[in-house]
Amino acid sequence: MAQKPSLPQGTRDFGPLVVQRRKYILQMIENVFKKYGFMPIETPAMEQLSTLSGKYGDEGDQLLYKILNSGDYFKKLTEYQSRAMGHEELDKTFLPSFDNTIENLDAKRSLSFIAEKGLRYDLTVPFARYVTMNRNTITLPFKRYQMQPVWRADKPQKGRYREFWQCDADVIGSNSLINEAELLKMYDEVFSLLNLPVIIKINNRKLLSALATKINAENLFIPITVAIDKLDKIGLNGVSDILVQTGLNLEQVDAILHFLSLGKSENPLQEMTQFLGDGDEGKLGIQELTQLHTYLSLMNPLNIIQFDFTLARGLSYYTGAIVEVQSNIGNFKSSIGGGGRYDNLTGIFGMPGISGVGISFGLDRIYDVMEEQNLFPENLKTTQTQILFCYFNEATQLKALSLCSELRKCGISAEIYPDITKKIGKQLEYANKLQIKYACIIGEDELNSDQLQVKNLINGEQHPTHLTSLINLLQA
């Protein structure tokens, strides 16, 4: 019996029109990346689990896709489970600590027989690995872009897929805030080109760090950030609850809530300066935001770029500027892009002291917003074919094939209906369904004449023409 095929949950096929539209977005992003001097790299879909694990927090680790080792892993596993292998022998090999869904130590040990590789979870960690492995050939500062799919075993929902594309630009090996300014301007340019108005929100992790210091909770900096990051989803009360659970007292929580209420005035940076007082880190954060503002004002951004002190970002490796992009139209208010500065990402791979800053475009979410808002150009169609050659029999088929070849030689997208047995109506129906604009029907008359009949299938007009005129028409 034939199988009824299906797709893995959270994954999608893309038909011709969707692919063209996705490529349209990718092309806009790539053009801007190149214009700002970024260079492309690509990394493999599979990475060692040791490269990926421990980099994305507990939640992230659980969402890694793991790949079964090839060969007879099962035999080895059974051997271990029946204790033909001792723990010591086993622990000499790689003991995975990455799967926090598995509490049992035996189970963890078993896993090392089963999986050593995983699918890429983002493009930042593979980039840090790439930089570390290619440190001797890379010129710093290194400006790279990377546009590839990533995989997360997350619960699928609107705007969240298990396979999705990220388009990242990062500068590594430079501390200058010009990088931040240029990356923000790149967001601005891409979304302007796509006719998608956005709000670009910026903040600086140093302000959050100064806040933690001010309330004597430096050791809770990461949990405080993670709590604030959930503000959009759970509101101020929800954030308060988490902060209390984290072990903060009411006075501390009040200070955090006050911090989150800042920035609505005419001069948000002055307001923040007054609140944070004299600490070095707060001053540095304010200074960085001020400098960034100076650079940006020279670049004339077209979209709204605003300070947002409630912006925290989930990932723990950010240390300076952070940014998030939201659509300014439609209902989808999750971020369609984000990024920030990280001071030591390559340190985990043995290359310390390298600062980097990057942004990411979420292709699939941008696509969803643009489709909802009907922002794709009309001229993106399923096919690029401009003309279909139709015919009646073997003799006219050969003439049609020959003419079709002539057009292709001139770079024109053209097709000949392949099957000889179909009626002309069937052939024109094919052209209509694919929205091919012109049809050229080759009959007996055309066999012995240079004249061709070309029909415009949109307005129904049909005119006699010659090959050279037809080529001129289609090349125009």
Binding status of residue 111 toward its own copies by CB under 8 A? yes
Stretch in the footprint of its own copies (CB under 8 A) among 98-106, 202-210, 251-259, 311-319: 98-106
Count of residues interacting with its own copies (CB under 8 A): 113
Q: How far is CA 473 from CA 288, 326, 412, 455, 466, in A?
A: 57, 43, 10, 12, 11
Stretch in the footprint of its own copies (CB under 8 A) among 251-259, 280-288, 396-404, 450-458: 396-404
Among 66, 201, 313, 341, binds its own copies (CB under 8 A): 66
Binding status of residue 471 toward its own copies by CB under 8 A? no
By beta-carbon proximity to its own copies, the closer residue of 80 and 259 is 80
Binding status of residue 197 toward its own copies by CB under 8 A? no
Binding status of residue 80 toward its own copies by CB under 8 A? no
Closest by CA to 358, choosing from 187, 160, 132, 119, is: 187
Burial of 165 (C-beta count, 10 Å sphere; 0-12/13-18/19+):
buried
- The distance of closest approach from Cβ of residue 266 to its own copies in the complex, given in angstroms and rounded to an integer, is 25
- The distance of closest approach from Cβ of residue 375 to its own copies in the complex, given in angstroms and rounded to an integer, is 20
Cβ atoms of residues 324 and 361 within 8 Å: no
User: Between helices 205-214 and 221-229, what is the axis angle to 10°?
Assistant: 120
Tokens of 284: 């540095």
Q: How many residues does the chain have?
A: 476
Binding status of residue 389 toward its own copies by CB under 8 A? no
**For tokens 């027989």, what's the residue?**
113
**For tokens 């009309």, what's the residue?**
378
Among 105, 222, 234, 299, binds its own copies (CB under 8 A): 299
Binding status of residue 377 toward its own copies by CB under 8 A? no
Among 220, 311, 397, 454, binds its own copies (CB under 8 A): 397
Residue numbers 165-184 binding its own copies by CB under 8 A: 171, 174-176, 178-179, 181
Taking the C-alpha atoms of residue 3 and residue 296, their distance in angstroms, rounded to an integer, is 57
Stretch in the footprint of its own copies (CB under 8 A) among 200-208, 308-316, 418-426, 456-464: 418-426
Stretch in the footprint of its own copies (CB under 8 A) among 111-119, 254-262, 332-340, 362-370: 111-119
Binding status of residue 223 toward its own copies by CB under 8 A? no
Phi then psi for residue 464, to 5 deg, are: -75, 145
E strands of 265-384, at which residues?
304-307, 318-327, 337-342, 356-362
